[in-house]
Structure 1
Amino acid sequence: MSTIDASYYTPLLTTSSTDTLFPTGETHYEVSTKETVLRIIYAVIGSLGILGNLTVCTVFIIRRKAFNSITNKLILNQSCIDLLNSIVFLTLRFGPRYLPHNSLGEFLCRFWYNEYVMWALFITSTVNLVCLSLERYFATCHPVKHRTLFSNKVPKIGIPCIWLAGFTYELYWAAVPVDYSCYPAWGSKGVQMFMGILLFICGYLLPISTMAFSYVSIIMMLRRRTQDRQKAAVSAFQKAKKNVTITSCLVFICYVVCWTPTEITYLMYNLGYPYDFTSTAHDVFVVVVLCNMITNPIIYAFKYQHFQKQFQKVFCVCCQNKVGDLGTVSVVVDPAGADASSDMG
């Protein structure tokens, strides 16, 4: 399931025994209009991914006292993952290709040019989204358990474990034998079918099911509470907590939309159905997957009110005095961090 076609790299390889160093754009064939358009799209997506996620990280770090809850630490971790993946993607797509014919070349082939790092980051992103959905689930539906399971010390252990899980899970990709284009070749159709089903279940179906269960349960709980409190005034904290939960739910929906076409077609391909990796449909699916690296900052900018206020305080100098009075409480207390203590009502 390579987002960078193996055929694109083939002309850059050499049969010489000497080391090779080619810019990614230097090829031995005429670049088609389709390839040119894709390069432009990839460059735009990668650049927006860096810009958007770097902006989110900057706001979260500078205003870290306002984003001190576990929820926001997971959101920051998500932006860090997407930021790094945007850089990795642009480097793979447009960076130089150095492939010596020795053990270093073998290492680069298995851990870099076969996109191991990029896909490991995609898995890390998925694991982080699952953790975010579970944290919101317990905070909303089981606040007492939330205080026990999600203490302030959890992120110090949990976030490194999220990264470790992603890169460990994807190690199989580096262990599979590679062909001349550094793209893993299964070798056996039976193994490919088995791994295709296993990867679909572990890398897509289980995470999607977990997140869907979490957010459906949250929505049902919020509806019940809305009915119980429809005659009572809704506090600012209740509105803020509902807003961060809706924001997380939108992130999940975008994940489903971006990843479902690719996951289903890749499963069908591993089961033996013909699939053309040079088709326009494949290119569209790839672009949609890559768009997932830039959707989250857009969601935060238009939906996450707490982020909007802190963004203004960091970047809108002319708005600081005006917004300062409105955001005083959020600087002292992170609304998402009050779930465990105030959701029991």
Structure 2
Amino acid sequence: MNVTPLAEPTNATDANDVLLLTSQKLRYVYLVIGALGLLGNVFVVVVIFSGTAMRKQLTNAFIINQSLLDAAVSLFLILTTLLENDGRTFVSTADLAYCKLWLTKMWLWGLLVSSTYNLLAVSVERYLAVVHPFWHRMRLTRGKVFASIAFIWVFGPAYNLAYMVPTSGISRDGGCTLYSFWPDSLTQNAIGVLTITIQFIVPIILLIIFYARMIVVLRMRIRPPPVAAGGAGASGEGGPTMARARRNVIKTLGIVAFCFVFCWIWNQIYFLLFNLGYGRIDFLGVFYHFTVVMVFANCCINPFIYVAKYEQFQKTMRHLLLRERPTADITQHRDTSSFSGNNR
């Protein structure tokens, strides 16, 4: 099964057949990824909430939401792996709802899309802070942040609901048939290309634009300002400590964005070729399952990135686990992107 479920065999493939084709080893891989993702992302939320400065910052609000989304993805990965089609005959209205709303794995795929757009949202927030700092400070309010977070949670599942439910149902022999009821192949392929565009192509283009622009602006700001005669040079906004902290956050999020692209690109290219009618695409082969595993793995990677690269997270984590006294840059650091400065 693919992150865009259309990539499953769509010639009236019965959900029970898909179950039989899923090896036990692959199920174990999914369960391990789900467990790591659930534990790791919950840990990230606990660490950020334990630090007063961290939980007040706009960037970390999106990072918390990213972790909550990825934890939800991990939970649904575990549940959908354990609670697959048991081979029953579907006859009742409840069976139809179970087929359309659960066996399609709509929530799993939908939350993956939401996770992608939250990554895009936090990148937009950093882009505004770096490239348009005045607008960011004066116009990006707490209400706008929470409204965008709420929209992100709804968007992914709603999009998948719009095409997964109508195209899945009960076949004549009483089986749950997934993503098979299309008006014609042209409509199916068009929805497939649209799905790839929404969940991968648009985000990756915007991520490239945002991070490229941020790199250019940050490099310009790194250059030391001219020193006036008899006086010290003008300090940058917030001083060198603030500048380093911002660069570290952007570098960390840049790595997160790169890992997203690396994990998703194999599956998305494979599925795009399928929808464009290119060659013989094997959805039962080893490479296809590799692409799906890579997509799922993306939900458990970010906590390791934060531990390895995010300096403020590292210090807050040490304070939480080792009871180290917080350093000044945690307790006294006043980021212009904090809720205290954007509370309208």
Q: TM-score range by the shorter chain?
A: 0.7 to 0.9
Q: Distance in 2 between matches of 1:314 and 1:101?
A: 53
Which residue of structure 1 aligns with residue 331 of structure 2? 331
Which residue of structure 1 aligns with residue 168 of structure 2? 177
Q: Distance in 1 between matches of 2:84 and 2:23?
A: 18
Q: Distance in 1 between matches of 2:220 and 2:155?
A: 36
Which residue of structure 2 aligns with residue 263 of structure 1? 268
Q: Displacement of 1:240 after TM fit?
A: 0.6
Pick the aligned partner of 1:102 from 92, 117, 132.
92
Pick the aligned partner of 2:200 from 201, 204, 208.
204
Pick the aligned partner of 1:310 from 309, 313, 316.
316
Q: What letter corresponds to residue 146 of structure 1 in structure 2?
A: H
Q: What letter corresponds to residue 299 of structure 2 in structure 1?
A: M
Please state if 1:238 is matched with 2:229: no
Q: Displacement of 1:170 after TM fit?
A: 1.7
* Deviation by residue 1:8-54 (Cα, 9 ceiling, x = unmatched): 95169xxxxxxxxxxx8xx7xxx9xx923322222211111111111
Q: What letter corresponds to residue 274 of structure 2 in structure 1?
A: Y
User: Residues 336 and 185 from structure 1, CA distance in 2 versus in 1: closer, same or farther, beyond 3 angstroms?
Assistant: farther
* Deviation by residue 1:290-338 (Cα, 9 ceiling, x = unmatched): 1100111111000000011111111223xx2xxx152x33234454726
Contact 1:66 1:331 (8 Å CA) reproduced: no
Contact 2:260 2:298 (8 Å CA) reproduced: yes
Which residue of structure 2 aligns with residue 15 of structure 1? none
Q: Secondary structure at the match of 2:305?
A: helix
Unaligned runs of 5+ in 2: 228-232
Which residue of structure 2 aligns with residue 124 of structure 1? 114
* Deviation by residue 1:135-154 (Cα, 9 ceiling, x = unmatched): 11110011111123312232
Contact 2:166 2:181 (8 Å CA) reproduced: no
Between 40-49 and 233-242, report the one with greater CA deviation: 233-242
Structure 1 residues 269-308: aligned runs within 5 Å: 269-273=274-278, 274-308=280-314
Q: Displacement of 1:203 after TM fit?
A: 1.9
Structure 1 residues 31-42: aligned runs within 5 Å: 35-42=23-30
Contact 2:204 2:261 (8 Å CA) reproduced: yes
TM-score normalised over the length of structure 1: 0.83
Contact 1:60 1:67 (8 Å CA) reproduced: yes
Pick the aligned partner of 2:215 from 197, 216, 219.
219
Q: Secondary structure at the match of 1:275?
A: coil
* Deviation by residue 1:229-272 (Cα, 9 ceiling, x = unmatched): 59978621111111011111111101110111111111111222
The alignment's C-alpha RMSD in Å is 2.8
Contact 1:244 1:304 (8 Å CA) reproduced: yes
Q: What letter corresponds to residue 66 of structure 1 in structure 2?
A: M
Q: Distance in 2 between matches of 1:129 and 1:80?
A: 12
Q: Displacement of 1:166 after TM fit?
A: 1.8
Q: What letter corresponds to residue 226 of structure 1 in structure 2?
A: I
Q: Displacement of 1:65 after TM fit?
A: 4.3
Q: Secondary structure at the match of 1:277?
A: coil
Q: Distance in 2 between matches of 1:244 and 1:168?
A: 31
Q: Distance in 1 between matches of 2:190 and 2:332?
A: 52
Contact 1:240 1:336 (8 Å CA) reproduced: no
Contact 1:78 1:125 (8 Å CA) reproduced: yes
* Deviation by residue 1:98-134 (Cα, 9 ceiling, x = unmatched): 7653111111211111110011101111111111111
Q: Distance in 2 between matches of 1:183 and 1:197?
A: 18
User: Residues 54 and 73 from structure 1, CA distance in 2 versus in 1: closer, same or farther, beyond 3 angstroms?
Assistant: same
Unaligned runs of 5+ in 1: 13-23
Q: Between Structure 1 and Structure 2, how many residues are aligned?
A: 317
Between 229-238 and 141-150, report the one with greater CA deviation: 229-238
Pick the aligned partner of 2:151 from 146, 161, 169.
161
Q: Distance in 2 between matches of 1:176 and 1:95?
A: 21
Relative contact order, higher structure (CA 8 A, sep 6+): 2
Q: Displacement of 1:177 after TM fit?
A: 3.3
Q: Displacement of 1:64 after TM fit?
A: 4.8
Contact 1:2 1:115 (8 Å CA) reproduced: no
Q: Distance in 1 between matches of 2:266 and 2:181?
A: 22
Q: What letter corresponds to residue 270 of structure 1 in structure 2?
A: N
